[in-house]
Amino acid sequence: MSDEYREIANYELPYSRKAELREVTFDGDMKMLRLILREGKRITQVDLDADSAMALSDAMGDWGRVNI
């Protein structure tokens, strides 16, 4: 069986990098947020639970507000 996903957002990042967010639903209806980072042919994929996604979001927002 394959996991189902819903695209949430795509971002063009500095230095020709890309980031993508997807909501992935696994067997048993468990949902995770998948962060996909692309740099040339290299792809890094990380699945986050809700608590981890919130913590990462808070830290990134804090950094962004300080460095605008």
In angstroms, the CA 25 to CA 45 distance is 15
Stated pTM of the model = 0.88
Please check whether residue 49 is in contact with residue 32, taking contact to mean a CB–CB distance below 8 angstroms. yes
Give the pLDDT of residue 3. 79
Largest CA distance in the chain: 44
pLDDT in tens, 24-64: 999 899 999 999 999 999 999 999 999 999 999 999 999 99
Residues 6+ apart with CB under 8 A from 63: none
In angstroms, the CA 21 to CA 13 distance is 13
In angstroms, the CA 53 to CA 56 distance is 5
